[in-house]
A and B are shown apart, each in its own frame.
Chain A
Amino acid sequence: MSSQKQPPAVPVEERLFSLVLALLATEAGLTKSEILSTVQGYRQRYDAYGDNASLERQFERDKDDIRELGVPLETIETPGDPGNNQSMRYRIPRTAYELPADITFSPAETTLLNLAAMAWREGSLSRESQRALLKLRSTGVETTEPVLGYAPRIRTRDAAFDPLSDALTRRVTASFPYLKPGDASARLRTVSPLALVQHQGRWHLKAFDHGVGEPRTFLLSRITGPVKVSRQPIEVAPGGYAASALEELDEIWEANVADLEVLPGTDAEVRLARRRGAERVDGSRVLLHFTDVNLLADELAGFGPEVRVLGPEPLIAAVVSRLEAAVAAHQEAR
C-alpha cells in the first residue's frame, strides 16, 4: 500500500459496519491500535509511525454512535494494567447483541408496532422508531395487512423535548431556564432527568432538581430557553419513574375539580362536557377534572362567554386575568 497516495474515502456506514463485524468476531477483544490499524475505514488513514489523534477521536465518536443504536460495545481492562487506555480491549458480546431467540412477533403484533411507530412523526423519536421497525423487519415477520384507517400522532412540539430526551438516555444532567407561573422571570434549573411523560397532551419532565435537592415535575412548555445537556454523568437507581410520574399527575387530576357553567349548544358545551371524567350536573353545569390551573385557565378563556367558571377561586381569578389581558392587548388603536 503506497503511503503517498490519498486513500479512497470509505463511506461512514462501511466503516461503522466493519467495526461492528470486527468487534462481534473477536472473543478476546481488540485494542484500539489493532482496530485503527486493521479495520476497514480506519486502516486507510492509519499512520504506523505518526500521530493518529484525529483517527482516535473518530473512533471515540463512532463508539458513541454505535452504542446509541443499542449495540453493546464493551471495554475490557487488562488485569494488572487497569485504567490504561492503550491496553484496553473492545468487543461486542454476541449474546448481548442478538435479539433473544424467544422474542418473536406475530403478524398482528407487528401491525400494532407499525402503528405505534407511526405515531412518532416528528422529533428524534421518529428516527428511533423507524430504526426499531428496521430491526423488527430484520426478523422476517410480515404484517398481515396495513392498518387502514388510522393515522395516530404524538406531538413533540416543545423545543426542549429532544435535548431532554437525549440527557435522559445518556444519563447526564441538564439545565434550562424555567418560568414558574406567578414568578416574574425564569430561573435556571439544573436537574438529573428521570422521566419524560405526556399527560393531557402536555409533555412533563420528572427530574431531580439540584437546586432544591428534591424531585420535581416540570412542564416543557414553561422552559423558556435552550436546554444545555452536560457531560456530567449521574447515577440513577433503576425504577419506574415514568409510570409513577403519570400516576402522580393522575392523582392531581383526580383531586382538582373545576365547576363550570356552559352555554347550551356551544362549542364549550359540546366539547367540555364530553371530556374524560367530565360530569354533568343539572343541565348547564359541568364538573371537570384538571391538572394545572393555568393551563385550564388558558383553555377556558378561549371559550369566552360560552363558559363561566364557578369555582375554585384561583381558577376564576386566572381566567378573569387572561380575559382582561386579552382586552388590554387589543382594545387601543395601534
Chain B
Amino acid sequence: MATPRDAQQFAYAQDKLTFLLALVPYLLDHGRVTVREAAEHFQVSEKQIRDAVSLIAVSGVPGETMQYQHGDLFDISWDDFDERDEIVITHMVALDDSPRFSAREAAALIAGLQYLQSLPENLDSGVYSSLMDKLARGASESPSQVAVARSDATGSLAEVRDALARGVQIEFDYLSSRGSREHRRVDPLRIDSDDENWYLRAWDHLREAVRTFRLDRMTDVRVTDEPVTGSHDDVALGDRLFQGADDDLVVTIELDPSALSLLGEFVSSVDARATDAAASVSGRVRTDIRVAHINALKRLVTATSSAVTIVDPPEARAAVVDWANEALSQYRSAGLPAAGRPADPASA
C-alpha cells in the first residue's frame, strides 16, 4: 500500500520551467507518445501535459531574423495532437537532452539515499555509492553540503519488512502509550519513518482499525504464516501518524512558539488560540492540544519543561509534578549531585 501521490501541480514558475525542460527530451526520445502515457510517466495531469505541449509548440528561438520565424519554432503534428491525443514533435530547436541536476537537487537526493541506507533491503552499499556518484557527476555544480546520518532502526524492522513483503500477519507485545503491555495481532500495511523513529502502520485485529505502532516499543515480534485478512485498499494512510479520537483529552498549554514543532506527532491536534496578555509578555503562546492520554503528555512536558507548561486541567499539572517528583526522589535517596554546569560537547 503506497501513498497514492496525486498529480502534482506546479505552484512556481521555476517548477513549471523544469517540467518543460524535462518534457521536451522525453518527447523527442519517444517519437510518438500519448498524452496519457506522458501524464502517467511524469505523474502529472493530462491537462498539464496538453498545456505544456501547446506552449512548447509555439516556442523557439529568435533566430537570424530575430523574429521567431516558422523554422525557429518547435512544431508538432497538430492532427495527431488534436484528434488522437498523441504527441509527435516534428521540428525541434536548441533543446534535445535532459538537463543536469542543480547542486541542491543532487544534494536532496543524495541525503535522502544516505538516510535510506538503513533499510533492510538486500542492497549492498555499492548500489548507494554508485548512485550518489552519478548524481554528483550529473549535477551542474558540486552538490550542496547536506548530509543525513543513517538512521539505524531497531531490531524488529527486518522482520516487519519481511512480513509486509510476504503479506502475512504478525504478532507482538506492545507497550502502549497508556503504559500497558498488550498482545497484538496485525496486518502490516506500511513502515513509516520520521527522522530516527520508525513506525508500523497496521490493521489491528483487536481494535478492527488502523493503528500506528512505534517499532522500538514492539517486543517478541513473531511473523506468522497466516495471510493478511484483506488488502485494506480502502484504508487511506495519510501523512499523519496519529489520528485524534473522540475520547481525547483537551489540555491547555503555554509554550514558547519555537517549541511548537516539538509537539509534532505527540498530539493529535493543536487548536491555536489568541494569546492572553500575561502569556504574550513572556513571548509564550497559549494553545489547546488534544492528547490520547495523560501518560504521554506528562513525559513530553517533563522532557521540555523549559519550553512547555500545562495550564489546565489541574489533574494534568498534578500528573507532571508527581512524575517529576517520583524521579527526583530516586536521586534524593542516592544523594543529589553537586551542582555543576553541564558539559556541552556538541555545541559551539
Interface set of A (CB-CB < 8 Å, partner B): 11-14, 16-18, 20-22, 24-25, 37-40, 65-66, 68-72, 96-101, 103, 105, 109, 112-113, 115-121, 124-125, 127-132, 134-135, 137-140, 142, 146-155, 157-159, 165, 168-169, 178, 180-182, 189, 194-201, 204, 206, 209, 216-219, 221-222, 224, 238, 240-243, 245-246, 249-250, 252, 255-256, 265-267, 270-271, 274-276, 291-295, 297-299, 301-305, 307-308, 312-320, 322-327, 329-331, 333-334
**A20 contacts B17, C-beta separation under 8 Å:** yes
Q: List 8 A-B contacts (CB under 8 A).
A: A16-B13, A70-B100, A98-B97, A131-B18, A165-B146, A243-B147, A330-B310, A330-B320
Task: Say whether B196 faces chain A, with CB atoms less than 8 Å apart.
Answer: yes
In the complex, whether B139 has a CB less than 8 A from a CB of chain A is: yes
Once the chains bind, are A99 and B99 in contact (CB under 8 Å)? yes
> A119 and B116 in contact (CB under 8 A), knowing A127-B15, A326-B305?
yes
A315→B342 contact, CB < 8 A = yes
Determine how close the nearest CB of chain B comes to the CB of A28; give it in whole angstroms: 13
CA distance A209 to B329 in the complex (A): 43
Q: Please, which residues of chain A bring their CB within 8 A of the CB of B188?
A: 149
A327-B325 contact given A20-B17, A159-B258, A314-B342, CB 8 Å threshold: yes
Which of B60, B147, B194 contacts A198 (CB under 8 A)?
B147
Q: Which residues of A contact B179 (CB under 8 A)?
A: 267
Structural contact, A151 and B3, CB atoms closer than 8 A: yes
Whether A17 lies near B21 (C-beta < 8 A) is yes
Tell me the nearest residue of chain A to B156, going by C-beta. A274
The answer to whether B217 touches A267 (Cβ under 8 A) is yes
If over half of A's interface residues share one DSSP class (helix, strand or loop), that class is named, otherwise mixed; here it is helix
User: Least Cβ distance of A177 to chain B in Å?
Assistant: 11
Contact A155 B17 (CB under 8 A): no
A138 touches B93 (CB 8 A): no
CB pair A153–B193 under 8 Å, yes or no, is yes
- Residues in chain A near residue B348, CB distance under 8 A: 178, 180, 189, 209, 216-218
Contact across chains for A138 and B190 when beta carbons are under 8 A apart: no
Contact of A25 among B14, B61, B123 (CB under 8 A): B61
Indicate whether B19 reaches chain A with its CB closer than 8 angstroms.
Answer: yes
Closest to A168 in B: B144
Verify A139–B112 contact, CB threshold 8 A. Answer: no
A94 CB, min distance to chain B CBs, angstroms: 8
Q: Which of B81-89, B101-109, B203-211, B267-275 contacts A (4 or more CB under 8 A)?
A: B101-109
Task: Select the stretch in B222-230, B242-250, B333-341 that faces chain A.
Answer: B333-341
Contact with A along B311-329 (1 / 0, CB 8 A): 1001001101101111111
In the bound assembly, the distance between CA atoms of A199 and B114 in angstroms comes to 12
Tell me the complex Cα distance, A333–B264, Å. Answer: 28
Q: Nearest Cβ distance between residue B32 and chain A, in whole angstroms?
A: 13
Interface contact A135-B22, CB-CB below 8 Å: yes
Bound CA span A152–B62, Å: 46
Provide the bound-state CA to CA distance between A323 and B104, in Å: 42
Do B145 and A242 touch across chains, with their CB atoms under 8 A apart?
yes
Please give 19 more A-B residue pairs, beta carbons under 8 A apart, in addition to A70-B100, A132-B109, A327-B321. Answer: A25-B93, A69-B18, A96-B140, A98-B99, A100-B137, A103-B137, A120-B108, A128-B107, A137-B22, A140-B26, A149-B189, A180-B347, A195-B147, A196-B147, A302-B302, A324-B324, A329-B309, A330-B317, A331-B321
A209–B347 Cα distance when bound, in Å, is: 13
Set of chain B residues within 8 Å of A238, measured between Cβ atoms: 142
Expressed in whole angstroms, the minimum distance between the Cβ of A1 and any Cβ of chain B is 11
Q: Which residue of B lies closest to A72 (CB)?
A: B140
Given A18-B59, A70-B99, A152-B116, A128 and B337 contact (CB-CB distance below 8 Å): no
CB of B183 closer than 8 Å to a CB of A: no
Contact A21 B100 (CB under 8 A): no
* Docked complex Cα distance between A204 and B348 (Å): 10
B130-154 vs A, CB cutoff 8 Å, 1 = contact: the mask equals 0100100111111011111101101
Instruction: Report A24 CB to chain B, min CB distance, Å.
Output: 4
Chain A contacts for B12, CB-based, 8 A: 127
Identity of the chain A residue whose Cβ is nearest the Cβ of B164 in the assembled complex: A149
A66 to B140, CA, bound (A): 12
B125 within 8 A of A: no
Known contacts A99-B138, A120-B112, A329-B305; A305 and B330 CB within 8 A of each other: yes
A40 touches B109 (CB 8 A): no
Would you call A149 and B165 a contact (CB within 8 A)?
Answer: yes
**Are A304's CB and B138's CB within 8 A?**
no
With most chain B CB atoms within 10 A of its CB, the pick from A152, A158, A168 is: A152
CA–CA, A136 and B138, complex, Å: 10
Picked from B18, B99, B127, B138, the residue with its CB within 8 Å of the CB of A112 is B127
Inter-chain CA distance A142–B101, complex, in Å, is 18
Is the Cβ of B342 less than 8 Å from the Cβ of A181?
yes
Taking a contact as CB atoms closer than 8 A, the residue among B109, B140, B175 that contacts A267 in the complex is: B175
Contacts of A180 in B (CB 8 A): 344, 347-348
Q: Which of B66-105 contact A (CB under 8 A)?
A: 66, 68, 93-95, 97-105
Distance in angstroms between the alpha carbons of A218 and B348 in the assembled complex: 6
Q: Does B197 contact A (CB under 8 A)?
A: yes
Query: In this assembly, does B282 line the interface, its C-beta being within 8 Å of a C-beta of chain A?
Result: no
Contact A149/B59 with A155-B195, A304-B327, A326-B302 known, Cβ cut-off 8 Å: no
Q: Would A181 and B140 count as touching, CB distance under 8 A?
A: no
Whether B161 is near chain A, meaning CB under 8 Å from some CB there, is yes
Which among B137, B144, B306 has the highest number of chain A CB atoms within 10 Å? B144
Nearest B-chain residue to A323, judged by Cβ: B324
Contact check, B154 vs A320: say whether CB atoms are below 8 A apart: no
Query: Could you tell me if A198 and B195 are in contact, using CB atoms closer than 8 angstroms?
Result: yes
